[in-house]
């Protein structure tokens, strides 16, 4: 008998092969009974009803605080999965835990890894086991994962996944996505941002009041450059956030569309808004109080003339300094600075400031200045 052939025999056949190289024998009666169940129209109807019940529960039970939005996608948080598990009477039980320290060969450091296996049971008899894991080296930004965080997150991921396997076809939860994955999702969305999407992004600050919640597409070129400059300064001072990066990308697209292919001056007013340039100046003088995410803006700077962009030599110097292994900054900070200085809108003044800052971070810089 060919080892690739499917071994089909009656259940009472006592001459079943014990050769492990052969496929497992099939019980024809059990298979026939199973196929009869699948072919029953009621079976598909029940599955459709379950899917509709899941969609209805998501719309009714899950609020804005129960999801995490990243680049146009939504990931359900722990609270969302708890609500759904309660609604569908899904019970979860931890059946295995494993915690250990591993040595990172690249850094020589010890990393704590927590693993957890959770079993979810549905009232209609199905069960699903899922494994969740979390390590203390997952986050390299401002927030560090502690050992307690890793243990709790591993259980949360396993519980969410087990519940999802029963009612949501394995949908990924927010806790399963790492910071790098979330940033990648957002970065992909920014790269794919269209001009219409950029126009719909709202003015980020509360003042001037006349611009509050106004779409960026309705602003003049001068005002767009002011928003871009102010947002760049926020990024340099307090770091990147999804909101700030969205603003930067939207302003870049809109400025490029208004400047034209030759990068000319400000586009003439349209739709009769001949005075918007004066309104922009008023907005810039009034400041940009109430920045995004609870931080107050320091005022959008006035820019009568478009600032000169950084030269190729300046950009190459910044890249060279960032690649220096002796630079006194962590890898995540290098990445952050590279993101800021790699912008097309980086000015010569900003580039000069960054070159000075980076040179001062090199060993011996203080002695050289002395």
* Contact (CB, 8 A) for 17 and 7: yes
- What's this model's pTM, rounded to 2 decimal places? 0.44
Q: CA 79 to CA 67: how far, in whole Å?
A: 9
Longest CA–CA separation in the chain, Å? 94
Q: Which residues pair with 101 in a beta bridge?
A: 112
Residue 122 has what pLDDT?
94
* CATH 3.30.390 is held by the domain 62-178: yes
What is the C-alpha radius of gyration for the chain, rounded to an integer number of angstroms?
29
306 CA to centre of own chain = 33
CA dihedral 195, 201, 203, 204 (to 10 degrees): -130
Q: Look at residues 194, 211, 197, 260 and name the one whose alpha carbon lies nearest to residue 268.
A: 260
- 99, containing H or E segment: strand 91-103
3-state secondary structure 26-37: EEHHHHHHHHHH
**What DSSP string describes 155-194?**
HHHHHHHHHHHHHSTTPPBGGGS-HHHHHHHHHHHHHT--
* Contact (CB, 8 A) for 340 and 149: no
C-alpha separations of 7 from 29, 34, 222, 342, 369 in Å: 14, 18, 76, 62, 82
Q: Look at residues 69, 172, 157 and name the one whose alpha carbon lies nearest to residue 117.
A: 157
SS3 state of residue 308: coil
Residue 145 has what pLDDT?
80
Residue 339 has what pLDDT?
83
Q: CA 216 to CA 201: how far, in whole Å?
A: 6
For the chain, list residues with pLDDT below 70: 1-22, 70-72, 106-107, 139-143, 169-191, 259-307, 363-370
* Contact (CB, 8 A) for 193 and 148: no
**Long-range contacts made by residues 362-366, C-beta under 8 angstroms, separation at least 24?**
362/321, 362/324, 362/326, 362/327, 362/328, 363/326, 363/328
* Contact (CB, 8 A) for 153 and 175: yes
Q: CA 224 to CA 250: how far, in whole Å?
A: 9
Residue 9 phi/psi, 5-degree rounding, is -140, 165
Q: CA 363 to CA 101: how far, in whole Å?
A: 34
* Contact (CB, 8 A) for 322 and 337: yes
* Contact (CB, 8 A) for 150 and 136: yes
Residue 99 has what pLDDT?
93
pLDDT tens figures, 146-197: 899 889 989 999 999 999 999 876 566 655 555 555 455 555 556 677 888 8
Residue 311 has what pLDDT?
80
The residue ranges of every structural domain in the chain are 62-178, 193-269+279-303, 310-364
CB 32: neighbour CB atoms within 10 A? Answer: 10
CA triple 262-347-293, angle to 5 deg: 110
């Amino acid at each position: 008998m060919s080892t690739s052939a499917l071994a089909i025999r009656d259940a009472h056949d006592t001459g079943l092969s014990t050769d492990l190289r052969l496929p497992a024998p099939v019980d024809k009666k059990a298979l026939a009974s199973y196929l009869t169940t699948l072919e029953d129209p009621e079976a598909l109807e029940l599955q459709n009803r379950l899917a509709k019940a899941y969609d209805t529960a998501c719309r009714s039970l899950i609020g804005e605080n129960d999801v995490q939005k990243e680049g146009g996608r939504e990931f359900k948080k722990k609270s969302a999965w708890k609500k759904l598990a309660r609604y569908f009477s899904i019970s979860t039980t931890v059946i295995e835990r494993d915690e250990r320290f591993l040595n990172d060969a690249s850094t020589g450091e010890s990393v704590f890894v927590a693993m957890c296996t959770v079993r979810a049971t549905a009232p209609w008899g199905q069960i699903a086991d899922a494994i969740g894991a979390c390590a203390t080296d997952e986050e390299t930004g401002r927030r560090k994962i502690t050992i307690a965080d890793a243990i709790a997150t591993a259980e949360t991921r396993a519980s969410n996944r087990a519940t999802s396997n029963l009612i949501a076809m394995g949908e990924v939860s927010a806790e399963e996505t790492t910071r790098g994955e979330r940033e990648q999702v957002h970065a992909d969305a920014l790269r794919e941002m269209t001009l219409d999407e950029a126009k719909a992004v709202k003015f980020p600050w509360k003042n001037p009041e006349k611009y509050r919640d106004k779409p960026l597409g309705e602003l003049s070129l001068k005002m767009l450059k002011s928003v871009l400059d102010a947002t760049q300064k926020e990024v340099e001072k307090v770091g990147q956030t999804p909101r700030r990066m969205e603003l930067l990308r939207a302003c870049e697209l809109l400025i490029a569309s208004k400047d034209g292919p030759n990068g000319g001056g400000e586009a003439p007013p349209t739709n009769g808004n001949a005075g918007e340039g004066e309104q922009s100046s008023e907005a810039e003088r009034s400041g940009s109080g109430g920045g995004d995410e609870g931080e107050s803006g320091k005022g959008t700077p006035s820019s009568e003339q478009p600032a000169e962009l950084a030269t190729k030599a300046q950009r190459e110097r910044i890249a060279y300094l960032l690649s220096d292994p002796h630079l006194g900054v962590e890898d995540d900070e290098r990445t952050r600075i590279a993101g800021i200085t790699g912008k097309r809108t980086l000015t010569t003044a900003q580039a000069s400031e960054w070159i000075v800052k980076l040179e001062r971070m090199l060993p011996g810089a203080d002695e050289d200045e002395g």
